Amino acid sequence: MKTVLLLCILIAVSAENEPEKPECDGIHVRGKFHKKEVLGRGLNRPYQLGLLRHSHKIFFSFNVGSDEEDTFKIGFIEKNHTSHQVLEDVENGFALAVDDENHVAYFGGSSGIYRYHDHPDNKEHKVTKILHDHNIWDMFYKKQLYFITFPKQHLYKLDVHKDGSKPERVKDIHEEIYQFAIDGDNDKFITNETGLFRIKSGSKLRVHYKGETVFRAIEINNKEEAFFSGKHCISVADKKKHELEEIAHVKNIFGLAFDHEDNIIYSDPHEIIRLLPAECEKKPPK
């Protein structure tokens, strides 16, 4: 009897103390509230993202085709603009990677790779085709340019700092892969149909990371930590437990990038959003 009464009191107390949770218009990252800043809107499935930080340009690939047949172009948004510009020189541009240090962005399309060089002072930019006859699925930059071909899903590397260099198949990665990245520990991450694998620096062993199996992007932040965008989440790798740790739940996420302060920028089927730490703002009444 006593225990029943005590239980009732406990339940009553906890119900009373339960604060009314306000509905916040934002997203929690590692348990902390972040508000959404809309950087681009009205886009049709902006997929891959990349930033040139010195000129405050956000690049993205997006769909300009019909719902039945995808055609992609590369667009970019300048700081303080929400409307975008399109780089018409890049044929069916889908993949992108950025060498921020050298102010260069690379775009991959159905017929090769292009280099975009920025001149922030005179507001000019130059797009040059640097590789022909390759259909590019995804790209990653670290010292050199790594790219994955379509439809074979083979990984190649290209020494973009030497004129006339030829792409080379990365021998260590025999798998057909969807994404590739190298983090600050020189660990490699690959994804394929089975899911995510980490290849520790100096090792050939593939360690499977449990959890999500469908990935849209792997991106490295300024501290050279790897972040993974799954179907509805952003995760980081827990290298002790060999599993992914979800740090944010984001519905229908595609691309991922980081600004100079490592704020997360992501894309969903229509928008490009930056997440900024903030106090919870109540959703306006509908």
Ligand X SMILES: *[C@@H]1O[C@H](CO)[C@@H](O)[C@H](O)[C@H]1NC(C)=O
Binding-site ranges for ligand X (CB under 6 A): 56, 79-80, 175, 192-194, 197, 206
Query: Which CB, 195 or 269, lies closer to ligand X?
Result: 195
Residue 146 Cβ, how far from ligand X at the closest point, in Å?
Answer: 17
Residue with tokens 């975008």, as numbered in its chain: 84
Residue 191 Cβ, how far from ligand X at the closest point, in Å?
Answer: 8
Query: Which CB, 61 or 191, lies closer to ligand X?
Result: 191
Query: Which CB, 60 or 197, lies closer to ligand X?
Result: 197
Whether 137 contacts 109, CB under 8 Å = no
Residue 37 Cβ, how far from ligand X at the closest point, in Å?
Answer: 13
Residue 198 Cβ, how far from ligand X at the closest point, in Å?
Answer: 11
Distance CA 4, CA 259 (A): 55
Residue 56 Cβ, how far from ligand X at the closest point, in Å?
Answer: 6
Amino acid occupying residue 248 = A
Query: Which CB, 116 or 197, lies closer to ligand X?
Result: 197
Q: How far is CA 210 from CA 205, 214, 239, in A?
A: 16, 12, 11
Residue 68 Cβ, how far from ligand X at the closest point, in Å?
Answer: 27
Whether 167 contacts 189, CB under 8 Å = no
Query: Which CB, 123 or 132, lies closer to ligand X?
Result: 123
The residue length of the chain stands at 286
Whether 226 contacts 236, CB under 8 Å = yes
At CA 193, angle to CA 66 and CA 240, rounded to 5?
Answer: 125
Residue 14 Cβ, how far from ligand X at the closest point, in Å?
Answer: 46
Cβ neighbours around 159 below 10 Å, total:
14
Residue 80 Cβ, how far from ligand X at the closest point, in Å?
Answer: 4
Query: Which CB, 77 or 160, lies closer to ligand X?
Result: 77
Query: Which CB, 66 or 80, lies closer to ligand X?
Result: 80
Query: Which CB, 193 or 262, lies closer to ligand X?
Result: 193
